[in-house]
Structure 1
Amino acid sequence: MPLYCNQGHKNQNGSRFCIECGEPLWLPAGEVLEKRYRLVRQLAAGGFGRTYLAENLHRFNERCVLKEFAPQVQGDHELEKAKELFEREAGALYNLKHPQLPRFLEFFQAETKTGVNCLFLAQDYIEGDTYYDLLRSRGSFSEDEVRQFLCKLLPVLTYIHAQKVVHRDIAPDNIILRSTDKMPVLIDFGGVKQVAATVVSRFTGLGMPTLIGKQGYAPEEQMRQGKVYPNSDLYALAVTALVLLTGKEPQDLYDSYKGTWQWRKEINVSPQLEAILQKMLAYQPGDRYTNAEEVLQALQTPLQKIPTLNISQLRTINILGRKPEPTRNRQSPENQTHSTKTQVMAANANKPIKLNLGWLRPLLMKAITVGLVGLAATSAWVFANAIMRTPSLNPIAQRSPTNTNTAARLQNVVSRRQALQIREAFFVGLVDDSFHRQHPDLNGRSLKSDAQDAALRNDWFTIAEQMLDKLEQAELSPAIRRRLGTYTEKDYTTWHKQANQGQLGNYTSDELTRQTNQKFYRLFPEERGKKLKLNTLGQIWYAIAAERVNQQKQASQ
């Protein structure tokens, strides 16, 4: 039976590439790759390969997505080089762990029935419709719907950008509205497509690599120069919002002669949203928002001004939600330090730890003595007086919220830290240390509660949220996490002796150090080559080592 490419060229059965144009051809449904993945049906086609729905025969026929990359390279050496390039990009995807990103499963090389070696990327299958399909079936979106869409997707960009990853290909057809929870899921990272373009250029002699990015969505610096920044994704997200609002393609909204967007006459949106989209769409990257967090804050900034509160009515906030010390032992508000570098005051390990977050006061109406924080109904948000309730022990469920006002972020950080069972004093010190290393110009000064330090306060929370992400990704047992802040060099000396005495089976102290380094630097690549502080990041290093030791002890029993 003959095969036809998308251009209509006829090919013989079993061909992998069109003999006329070189386009990759589909693999047949039912074919099994590596005795593991059975192809179910075709999903999508691209310039560098094909995407299939498949079943994982080793996981109870669980459905997944296989992305095939067919770079048309000739020879084993060239294919191996191509594989190395893809694996590098696949490694970056593997480290991304977020509930609104498809989970990366593996990257592998497989030989098809026709004897052709191809490269495949396996990821979770997301059940749902793309926003492009939704737009075609139901028409344009309202302003409220687009606002909700942005507020749900911007935290995903905050996360991937914190991991030094830029998506590069944001568009309605690369975002799926997941059926199970109606959350937008970001798919098809452009970095993999860029590797495919590079492979074609390097190993086939077909000229310069194509610059990846969807025409009309990607900004100028990406399409012409191949340069990408976090706010390049913000530009593409803004174009996506315009397309959803208007139901029109980007080329119908952009005046290429004047180099300006002409969309205001198409829709009627609030001045606030108009200003936000306009800034996201700025031609020069430096004129856009710096990061996704800034856009989210702008979207959720109330139009009316928050009234000035009487600070004398406030009390010290207990970030743990523990019962604070009796009133007679508390410092008066006049003597408390206003500081993002939250001050841990503990006379000994048996006394409750109290934190002074003075700069939170302008946002909080009162703090209830049992550790419950109540926030009055001020403009857009309303908080019940049960913010500090003990959450379920499910760290992944405590992801960064879309509501980024300070009180909400405080609640989220507290809940996630409690769920991980990590000591308050250790966690605060860990975040403080990272914050002041990133802002050495502050010389350790306290932050103020005025607008001048708003960005710095935001940075502190961002660092706290990212640190929680990494502590979750470390996959440490609760017992190991509870000990964070108490590990010493004596612990490692003990583990070293146990390994040398054979108490860990054949596991050596050299293997312990190597594997601990490997996992730690996968979480904190920016710390490679730096000396770790024993009481902050060094504690996480020790915890990873402790987890390895426990695993080896169990295995050797």
Structure 2
Amino acid sequence: MAETGQGERLLGKRYRVLRQLSRGSFGDTYLAEDSHRFQELCILKEFNPQVPGKLALDKAQTLFEREANILYQINHPQVPRFRELLRDEGRLFLVQDYVEGPTYRELLDRRRAYDGRFSEAEVVQFLMQTLPLLQYLHSIGIVHRDISPDNLIQRNADGRPVLIDFGGVKQLVVNVRHQLGVAQPYQAADGTVTRLGTVGYAPEEQLQSGQVSPATDLYALGVTALVLLTGKDPEELYDDRRDRWSWPEQIELSDTLRQVITRLIAHNPEDRYPSAGQALAALNLAHPDPLSTAWAQPMPVRMQPAVPPPPPEPTVAVAPARLYLPPMAYDPTATVAPPPRAVPVQKTSSGCWPALAGLLLTVGVAGGLWWWLDPLSQFAGDSSGVVSPDGSDASNPNLSEAERDRKQALRDRAAALSVDWSYLTSLTDQFFFEQNPNRQGTQLTDQPADEPLRAEWDAIAAQHLDLLEANLSTDARNRLGRYNPTDSDRWKSQVNALFVSSKALYDLADARFNQLFPGRVSEGFVETPVDQIWFALAQDQVNALESGTNLTEITFEQGAFSQQQQGNLNPGQGQVYILNLSAEQLLRLNLQAPPDSTRLSVYVPVPTETLPHILADAEQNTWAGELPQSGYYEVVVVSRASNPIPYSLTAAVDNVIDDIINRPAPPEKDN
């Protein structure tokens, strides 16, 4: 494999091995670059069944391919995606996404270096983010089999735990060897025995008989939580002489977490939680007053509404605003019931509802559960005289006929525009409570005193329907409420095929979004209803790039050294130009546009730490210099003006290579 690591040969004419990550009884694991996806990093797990003869090997590979189909069912943002099974000159590799970040073992070792460990708050958050993932896996019939700090990565991008190294892959190898009649299917040629599960983390029934179930994973997760809490390995937490756990005497924990962990790691599988969802519910339900915000930090958000916490209202029983939770692409709600809802909570301080909202966002996004808090039945008690501001009261006889007609018209228009009513409700609630922070966490009544606020809510909903109709395609509107971070992965692949980077795509989407919602653009994930509009705008920009509406390749005919592109840009509109150029050529760019009306970006073919770009969202309108790389350069022009503007872009180069076909293939563009 060493010669491949030197880049002399691509596996499958596609993957360049960078280094070996680990060795295994039935195959090694490598870090590689995908040359068809702009040098994107990936993981290659070699499948080596160690059977004699080519016929047996071919049969083993065929059986493995058939049995590995279950891996492709996994579609969760906290599991690296299984891409394909790759055959290369008699070898078989499982190709999987690469996740950047330290393992929880590495994180713990760093803390141990200065006598530290994970706090209770951190471990509660860890469990809150991992249990929904297990609930999803178990719902599609997959048991991980090997949960431990070594097989959980804290992803750099968002700090969330990601589950790697499924023990089921090893089991597939063993199954194949068994079907081929290998006498010792668990034993490799060098005598090494493949163990399915890690000693100390795997429960007794798994290690002794190979029996696995959802309870197996829950046990391993509970032990992992204990190791993080104590900084000690499992054998230090178990008293072999008395055959019982000794950790309760070694650490101070809240009653809630102590009870949850005790049940997770019960010796008898029947004494553990029946499902990950019930374990999650126990962790949540045991705290009728919301957990501290440190226990439930939500994922980074793309937009942070500047809304101060509402003041205390101890004498008024109120209900929190309806919470928007975007679903994940896999939508496990079709097969998995969400965990029981939290005990009804009355707001007792200014910090309670934001803490609960953070907790529910963390649980909802991590698990992909799209469910809503019902403000009437769940929190309001006697709901007489209480009306949701979301328009669901269009038939309320206590409202005037004009108001009922207005609310019904909103529903009808949303349906005509293919905008999900639940999503529109959440979007309107977000802006309504931003504009009325003193009403945060309350519901409107159907009494005359609240009529102005109900009218304001309806007006906000109507304004957003206007905005969505004017700025989004029907397809983009139809998916509002269902966009999630996995969409960005798909878009990267689509635009990369056009020699366009995700940075250029985000420039286009950010420009459109900033024009519609000034000051809200920032890095992050889909967390609030308005974030969904950014993703919808990005979807339309991807479609426009693929159709060529906002993408032009600048080429130079023989004897020509300059090209001029011109046109008009509407507010928030942008254009991408790509140029296939060679290193050491001189490039000169000149953008003519009204002063302070545009931003200019120039991206290199392969971004590096020292050279991520030439220009990024720059106010300057000229650039000249020697090109550092060969490949496709991107020039992105976006409008920051409030009115349509004319522009003209001139690109001039020297030493133009006429025969592009004979030019060496440019380096692939980074995502």
Give the TM-score normalised by the residue count of structure 1.
0.54
1:198 aligns with 2:198: no
Q: Which amino acid aligns with 2:382?
A: I
1:43 aligns with 2:43: no
Equivalent residues in 2 for 1:42-441, closer than 5 Å: 42-111=20-89, 117-139=90-112, 140-203=117-180, 205-209=182-186, 212-301=196-285, 302-304=287-289, 306=345, 309-313=380-384, 315=386, 321-322=390-391, 324-328=393-397, 350=412, 375=441, 393=480, 395-397=482-484
Q: 1:314 to 1:36 in 2, by over 3 A?
A: farther
Deviation, structure 1 residue 241: 0.5
Deviation, structure 1 residue 205: 3.0
Counterpart of 2:36 in 1: which secondary structure? coil
Deviation, structure 1 residue 256: 3.4
Q: 1:310 to 1:32 in 2, by over 3 A?
A: closer
Q: 1:415 to 1:213 in 2, by over 3 A?
A: farther
Q: Contact 1:393–1:419 (CA<8 Å) still a contact in 2?
A: no
Q: 1:414 to 1:55 in 2, by over 3 A?
A: closer
Q: Contact 1:29–1:41 (CA<8 Å) still a contact in 2?
A: no
Q: Which amino acid aligns with 1:135?
A: L
Deviation, structure 1 residue 200: 3.9
Cα deviation, 1:165-221, whole Å, max 9, x if unaligned, reads 111111111111111111111111111111122334454734254551111111122
Q: Contact 1:395–1:419 (CA<8 Å) still a contact in 2?
A: no
Deviation, structure 1 residue 38: 0.9
CA distance in 2, matches of 1:393, 1:309: 29
Q: 1:134 to 1:352 in 2, by over 3 A?
A: closer
Aligned residues: 352
Cα deviation, 1:376-395, whole Å, max 9, x if unaligned, reads 69xxxxxxx99x99999372
CA distance in 1, matches of 2:135, 2:226: 21
CA distance in 2, matches of 1:413, 1:317: 19
Q: Which amino acid aligns with 2:71?
A: L
Deviation, structure 1 residue 127: 0.7
Deviation, structure 1 residue 263: 0.8
Q: 1:244 to 1:81 in 2, by over 3 A?
A: same
Counterpart of 2:247 in 1: which secondary structure? coil
CA distance in 2, matches of 1:119, 1:88: 13
Task: Compare relative contact order (CA 8 Å, sep 6+) and give the higher one, 1 or 2.
Answer: 2
Aligned match of 1:477: none
Q: 1:78 to 1:375 in 2, by over 3 A?
A: farther
Counterpart of 1:327 in 2: which secondary structure? coil
Cα deviation, 1:390-421, whole Å, max 9, x if unaligned, reads 9993724289xxxxxxxxxxx99999999999
Runs of 5+ in structure 2 lacking a partner? 187-193, 290-342, 347-378, 400-407, 416-421, 423-431, 444-456, 469-476, 487-525, 537-671
Aligned match of 1:524: none
Cα deviation, 1:212-258, whole Å, max 9, x if unaligned, reads 11111111222222221112111110010011111111122123344
Aligned match of 1:487: none
Q: 1:312 to 1:395 in 2, by over 3 A?
A: closer
Cα deviation, 1:261-286, whole Å, max 9, x if unaligned, reads 21122221111100000001111222
Q: 1:234 to 1:26 in 2, by over 3 A?
A: farther
Aligned match of 1:4: none
Q: 1:105 to 1:398 in 2, by over 3 A?
A: closer
Q: Which amino acid aligns with 1:142?
A: S
CA distance in 1, matches of 2:280, 2:3: 41
| Percent identity over paired residues | 43
Counterpart of 1:49 in 2: which secondary structure? coil
Runs of 5+ in structure 1 lacking a partner? 1-13, 15-24, 112-116, 331-345, 358-366, 378-384, 400-410, 422-557
CA distance in 1, matches of 2:175, 2:48: 12
CA distance in 1, matches of 2:37, 2:208: 44
Q: 1:71 to 1:314 in 2, by over 3 A?
A: farther
Q: 1:279 to 1:352 in 2, by over 3 A?
A: same
CA distance in 2, matches of 1:413, 1:276: 30
Answer 1 or 2: which has greater helix percent: 1
CA distance in 2, matches of 1:329, 1:75: 82
Q: 1:160 to 1:376 in 2, by over 3 A?
A: farther
Question: Which 4+ runs in 1 deviate beyond 6 A?
Answer: 388-392, 411-421
Q: Contact 1:398–1:416 (CA<8 Å) still a contact in 2?
A: no
CA distance in 1, matches of 2:230, 2:282: 22
Structure with higher Rg: it is: 2
Counterpart of 1:105 in 2: which secondary structure? strand
Counterpart of 2:270 in 1: which secondary structure? helix
Cα deviation, 1:412-447, whole Å, max 9, x if unaligned, reads 9999999999xxxxxxxxxxxxxxxxxxxxxxxxxx
Deviation, structure 1 residue 123: 0.7
Deviation, structure 1 residue 26: 10
CA distance in 2, matches of 1:255, 1:147: 25
Q: Which amino acid aligns with 1:131?
A: Y
